[in-house]
A and B are shown apart, each in its own frame.
Chain A
Amino acid sequence: MNKISKTTTARALALSALLGVAGAAQAQISGNVIRIGIITDMSSVYADIDGPGAVEAMRMAVDEVGGAVNGKKIEILSADHQNKADVAATKAREWFDQQGLDMLIGGTNSGTGLSMATVAAEKKKPFLVVGAATSALTGAQCTPYTVHWAYDTVALAKGTGNAVVKAGGKTWFFLTADYAFGSALQADTTAVLTAAGGTVVGSVRHPLGASDFSSYMLQAQSSKAQILGLANASGDTINSIKAAKEFGVTKTMKLAGLLVFINDIHSLGLDTTQNMYLTDSWYWNRDAEARAWARKFFDKMKRMPSSLQAADYSATKQYLAAVKATGTDDADKVLAYLHKAKINDVFAKGGYIRPDGRMVHDMYLMQVKAPAESTEPWDYYKVVDTFKGESAWTSKAETKCPLWK
């Protein structure tokens, strides 16, 4: 009889322990700690452009203020959302509920950005989006708590679309990744380039993560367009560019990469990517200040920072400055301060936050250098044009955000 009771109790306890371990953290409300967190892709296709480098960038900002603000220690949390919107939203919710998170930085992938924005708005905490590109974050899905820090699809479209048409690329063929983001990018760019006098002679949508682009290259060539617009990202962009070179597309057409980061160029090499146009929010070799900061980053991460990583640093730095100035980590007060502040740091000069949550700053049209023009590793771009302030983003007339009417 004793043995049976013991067994039962043991089983029940084991069950509880198992579930308890698998479950939870004890609820801790932020008292004397400022907690900032980032949820981004740490291990998959976007890990290099944001990922662990983003955490390092945040750490650099925290170290600059000495690890504490107004006597409160700063703690950085990070998690991998594996490009899944549900993982991102659940982790964000858990951090707000259980860990007393004060501010969330949004990583790559628009789907995760949107889902986290919903959670942050519900919990009434600041959400500074860096990695996600969708302009819906400051458009139809804007909230008082979302700030879109680095770039968005409209800026990319306005930048590359306009500039390429002006440089003579009037006829376009789009190679688009078949998902919401790709379609949005194609649609935004189409609007811009037709307004500038260009035409779209054809397009093809490929499944996300397609391994072979040879067929699409053939279709692009037979369209006889001047420009091949790549409305896709990361691995798909890299494979498209490789195939373009392989099938001689680059001999007759110019490539316009609508979403390209310096890590992609590094992966492909200048030989394959030279002369390609792209729009980005920051380049490490842009000026002396950026260079200095980038070298510090390089010492730790052994690669140059992408524009997203610089933006992560900037967002963290500005948030901490706001906390210091207002003397509190209360979300509404801090956001009110940020909305009135001027953003001047390594990432942005003369930046400011609009009522729709958009952080307005300059964007750059860049062209990839030829191998002969590059003077050192990672020296890949020449800045061809600068889009100052408001010209790069959605205008008030175009906006769908109910907060900015």
Chain B
Amino acid sequence: MSVVGAVGPSARMARIGRMAWAAGLLFLILAPFIGVYPIFLMKAMCYAMFACAFNLLLGYTGLLSFGHAAFMGSAAYATGWLVRSAHWSPEAGIVAGPLVAAALGLVVGLIAIRRQGIYFAMITLAMAQMIYFICLQAPFTGGEDGLQGVPRGTLFGVLPLDSDLTMYFVVLAVFVAVFLGIVRIVHSPYGQVLKAIRENEPRAISLGYAVNRYKLLAFVLSTAIAGLGGSMKTMVLGFATLSDVHWSLSGEVILMALLGGLGTFAGPAIGAMIIIGLQDFLADRVGSWVTVIIGAIFVFCVLLFRRGIVGELQVWLRRRLAKNG
């Protein structure tokens, strides 16, 4: 056993954590070569970004948004339209999408942030429904048909993205960057304030923090990252549809974060991969039972599995390490 920094269980936990990251990353790098379908994984990573963004808001700041799909979807549409009809380059489209989402997030956030709990959630739902309506009515989105035929183009003018393999590594790079970014935010002094707000908002206010501004920034960051997930998804699949802004997706992302583990880093990503995998895997086989299964997972998680997969793993690991001295 190494001596450096290895004092108690928490240091060992950190080492195990790092090794798990390395293993996960290694798997993701090797995946397309060992037969995993790259399109599926790319789609899963985009939703994982979405779930991580949602977790930043709920797990770390304590704000429940019922309408988060609106941000993922509007960025998806924005990028899709800019790249397809305005002939922007892919990198410009991918940057513009999250900016659009963040702008919407700022508007919604300004209206909603002063309310608490369920009222905050309902305002986000109301605004999301209005965004859905706009997407439904606006001619450029193609309504029910969706915005189709978005070309992948050439990244920075040098890297053609048509090959699924090339696209995969671009998406992987973005995903890893987003992930590290979220870790950075949470561990920064700003992140500590967010944590304080989540745990005891009145105390944070009494300590002099402009709590609403912190919450608003968290909200905007979360919507921007959700938007990035949406934009990448449009580039991977080549279209944006109304499903991306529908409230049922807002419900699904709550489940992804819950199932994976609210307030953990890997949790939402794993939750997203499982839910996307389930929907994909089961769609051919069991049809309408997919809804029942998703519902059952919800019920199971809420009753017996509230810490989510990663959360339960962490608790179990901590207990085992403490036992073994």
Contact = CB atoms under 8 A, between A and B. Distances in A.
Interface of A: 1, 3-4, 7-8, 11-12, 15-16, 18-27, 42-43, 77-80, 82, 84-87, 89-91, 93-94, 97-98, 110-111, 114-115, 118, 134, 178-181, 208
Contact of A93 (B39, B149, B288): B39
B37 A86 contact: no
A11 B13 CA distance: 13
Interface stretch (B16-24, B49-57, B98-106, B108-116): B16-24
User: Dominant SS at the B interface?
Assistant: helix
B157 interface: no
Interface string B274-287: 10111011011001
Contact of A110 (B12, B40, B145, B277): B145
B288 to A, nearest CB: 4
B144 A208 contact: yes
A7 B27 CA distance: 17
Nearest to A7: B16
Contacts of A77: 284
Interface string B110-151: 000000000000000000000000001100001111101100
User: Dominant SS at the A interface?
Assistant: helix
Given A8-B20, A22-B276, A23-B277, 10 more contacts: A19-B36, A23-B31, A42-B287, A43-B288, A89-B237, A90-B237, A91-B283, A111-B145, A179-B144, A180-B144
Interface of B: 1, 12, 15-16, 19-20, 23-24, 27, 31, 35-37, 39-41, 43-44, 136-137, 142-146, 148-149, 164, 237-239, 241, 243-244, 270, 273-274, 276-278, 280-281, 283-284, 287-288, 313, 317, 320, 324
Contact of A23 (B41, B241, B270): B41
A179 B320 CA distance: 57
B60 to A, nearest CB: 23
Nearest to A95: B284
Given A16-B23, A114-B145, A4 B12 contact: yes
Contacts of A18: 270, 273-274
A87 B283 contact: yes
Given A90-B237, A179-B144, A19 B27 contact: yes
Most B CB within 10 A of own CB, among A12, A78, A208: A12
A20 to B, nearest CB: 6
A302 B238 CA distance: 40
A148 to B, nearest CB: 15
A43 to B, nearest CB: 4
A290 to B, nearest CB: 29
8 contacts: A3-B320, A4-B16, A11-B23, A16-B27, A23-B31, A23-B37, A97-B37, A181-B144
Given A94-B39, A111-B145, A180-B142, A8 B19 contact: yes
